[in-house]
Chain A
Amino acid sequence: MNDPAAAVLERARALVEDRKLSTVTRWKESHPGALAIGHMPVYVPRPLLEAIGCMPVALFGGGDAIDIIRGDSYFQSYICHIPRSTVELALLGDLSPIDGVLFPSICDVIRNLGGMWRMLFPEKYATYVDLPQSFEPDIGGAFYVLEMRRIARELAERGARPLDPARLGEAILRENERRAAIAELDALRREASWRCRASEAYLLVRAGGVLETREHTALIHEFLACARRRSGRPVDNVRVVLVGSFCEQPPLELVRALEKSGCEIIDDDFQLGMRMIDGPIEIAEGEDPLVALSRAYLEKGRDTASRYIGDLVKGAGLVRRVRESQADGVLFAAASFCDPALLDQPMLEAALTKAGVPHTSFKFSENMGQFSVIREQAGAFSDAVKLWGAEGAAP
């Protein structure tokens, strides 16, 4: 029977594979003079960019679609893959519709890549977004507000609209609608994963990286409507949460291979930036929307490796997510040489072991082409969990 969601998924796939950013070029043609601002993972305040009339464009590297030649000559062999493919894309001219790039403070690779960008492409705007690691509103929050004002001011000097609270408020509302749509998608995965598989959610969320918020929300709603019409039955897979893929993205085929191995990924941190704020960004009565945006990051930012844990207990958030989603286990899927993910992993593993949650780990690279070893490993994990539950699959 025909899949009612096939067409919308095909559109999402085309957007994800559009490495020359033709959607962005079209957007710029219909918005003369407006800027397209790229950003590296994990999180940047996208509503801020929209509010000043810029198109935020999520950059996720070149995946498995390009052959890295020039990019390789700028990075040692022990550095992850995403910076080299991003530089390759830029040197190939594929990122030419982008007028500037934001480099958020998630690791030293992205941080230094920002410095490289300034040297390689001095004519383009590039800045670091120093996300606060102090979560007190009048310390870290105040700093973050000033950081966002700085970015808005620098972009205004390059042709963006001056920051206006009313417009920012509207952009935040649109972001909240998107968040709600993604939350619905996530709920569907958890409750009826045969209606929305991880590989599909991966495409649908990632496609939003090159769309205006409203369009992205519409795309997800369209999928949800189609997916609900899908017939099917629950598959006998183990339910897993996947963590560690918040920056460099695993190839889609790897996600599919995991699904085929018997692991139903019902929660993940792919393209985490789109879900970074847990729930809506609330603007209190009379509050400056910029302060609300900052407050949302402080109060509702998701646990992830690049965010300081403070007094919280490492791994507690992950265990909670496992429980809430009724997952059977966790897959750690970190990009090779990814410091944040790999330094976090032993702490998270310890928390899971203590909580009796089975887990297994592997590393990937965005351009890998062979998945058989990982597939076998995930298959063995899924079999062990099915047969013996938490005890049998304990590492």
Chain B
Amino acid sequence: MTEHADAGARDQSQLTQKRMLAEHFDALAHAKERGRKIVYTFVPGNVTELLGALDLLPVLPEINALQSGMRGRSVGYIAEAEKAGHSKDVCTYVKCDVGMLRSGNIGPTGQRLPEPDLLLLSYTGCFTFMKWFEILKQEYDCPVVMLHVPYQTEGTITPEMRAYVVSQLERNVIPALEKVAGRKLDMDELARRLDLSARAEEDLVRVWESARHRPSPIDGYFGGVYYVGPIFSSFRGTEEAVRYYRELRAEVDERVRQKKGPMTPDGEVPEEKYRLVVEGPPNWTSFHDFWRMFSKEGATVVSSTYTRVGGLYDTGFRHDARRPLESLADYCLGCYTNLGLPARLDLLERYVKTYEADGFLVNSVKSCNSFSVGQLLMLRKLEERTGVPGGFIESDLVDPRYFGKANIENRVQSFLQMLETRRRLGPGAPLPERKEARRSLPVLDERGLP
């Protein structure tokens, strides 16, 4: 998520984030010569505080994949993986990562990423994670440790679920990390880091909630992916993250005071015309084009679910130094894609209502069954429950073959026009008719065209 600072005017927090990431990738590039150990793990359910407390450096393959997408490298990496026998049908993050590995494992800063000393399979909210690390296990000669995080079918964490995760942390994960680190975990250091996490989380939630203002000072999806960058990746539980989120919050508060809209690739949004909630991950290969489709029409995303995949803090959860392992367990269990569909729907309803959205949009990505299966039903139900219309577009994360720009732009525009018409009609305007009929959806093909 380094490109943002290059686009449009820069806030101080963006520069801070850029520097943090550059330092992190530099630390990774020199890790081996400096004797630091590397743990590959996933964003949802990451236990960064534990890694940090043991001075281990995390590498997050999803972040590498999305970075490759933004830098235009993913298409080649995916082709490389498909040539090696990986199916066209499966998640492109995995293929992008496999292709990157086979092409020298060069990270977003142009430096080579170090090989892992351990693969920490935080198995949270996505089946593909398991296969991904099984594949990496074949590529690297290193141990794997599994952290199986049960699924929150009912949207609630039971004591049994928590106990299962805690016992894996105690019995499997911590010993494996200690072995790699060559030292024992210092629980005081872990507690200190959890405390720092909670402070950063508090500020992040304030930033998210600033979108209640009109105009919203933030874009909670396109801009939001930058805001969650540090906390999703390697910085949770660090002083740097606390500073970053304090700075970000101050900037956002100032925008509220000045009644300014969000920053976009083309500068500030002059007028907030539509307030939207978005479900689903963005496309990374045409990220700025995608963003512009909204920003140039005055559409601001006031909240999104993708920005909750690395932690759901705005329902009250905070890392808690008084219950270190239990709160790590609750964190893992609470990531957005680990919630049952009814709980996801409740959350979306809450966002639509709390942030007074005019509409919501689903970006359904081909790669991700975890997100995508059920979104068409969620669309119907959410319209029923909120009386607010939904739009539906399809694309992919890092495979540009499935980003049909003209088609997506048409759909976004018709959706925004529909919002405009409804606004003119006033309260009680009808919702779009959604027949249960064959081929009510286009078939997403390789040109991203219906």
Contact = CB atoms under 8 A, between A and B. Distances in A.
Contact of B148 (A91, A107, A112, A133): A133
Interface in B361-377: 364, 366, 369-370, 372-377
A342 interface: yes
B444 interface: yes
Interface in A40-61: none
Contact of A76 (B121, B127, B341, B372): B372
Nearest to B338: A111
Nearest to B160: A146
B114 interface: no
B135 A112 contact: no
A249 B33 CA distance: 52
Contacts of B381: 119
A284 interface: no
Dominant secondary structure of chain B at its interface with chain A: mixed
Given A139-B167, A140-B148, A342-B90, A72 B440 contact: yes
A111 B89 contact: no
Q: What size tier do the contact residues of chain A reach?
A: 35 or more
A128 B376 contact: no
A139 B164 contact: yes
Contacts of A314: 134, 137-138
A108 B148 contact: no
Interface in B67-86: 84-86
A264 interface: no
Nearest to A337: B89
A373 interface: no
B377 A305 contact: no
A346 B443 CA distance: 27
B407 interface: no
Interface string A296-325: 000000000110111000100000000000
A75 B130 contact: no
A99 interface: no
A342 B151 contact: no
Q: What size tier do the contact residues of chain B reach?
A: 35 or more
Interface in A262-277: none
A180 interface: no
B369 A136 contact: no
A305 B123 CA distance: 15
Contacts of A337: 89
Contact of B127 (A114, A150, A340, A345): A340
Contacts of A105: 151
Interface string B136-171: 011000000010101101000000100110011001
A119 B123 contact: no
Contacts of A114: 153, 340
Contact of A73 (B168, B373, B438): B438
B201 interface: no
Interface string B337-378: 000111011000000000000000000101001101111110
Given A107-B127, A343-B94, 6 more contacts: A74-B436, A78-B444, A113-B373, A127-B153, A343-B131, A347-B138
Interface of B: 84-87, 89-91, 94, 121, 123, 126-128, 130-132, 134-135, 137-138, 146, 148, 150-151, 153, 160, 163-164, 167-168, 171-172, 340-342, 344-345, 364, 366, 369-370, 372-377, 381, 394, 434-444
Q: Which 7 pairs across A and B sit closest by C-beta, in order of nearness?
A: A115-B341, A343-B131, A112-B373, A133-B148, A342-B87, A108-B369, A77-B443
Interface of A: 68-70, 72-79, 83, 91, 105-109, 111-116, 118-120, 127-128, 130, 132-134, 136, 138-140, 142-143, 146-147, 150, 305-306, 308-310, 314, 334, 336-340, 342-347, 349-350, 363
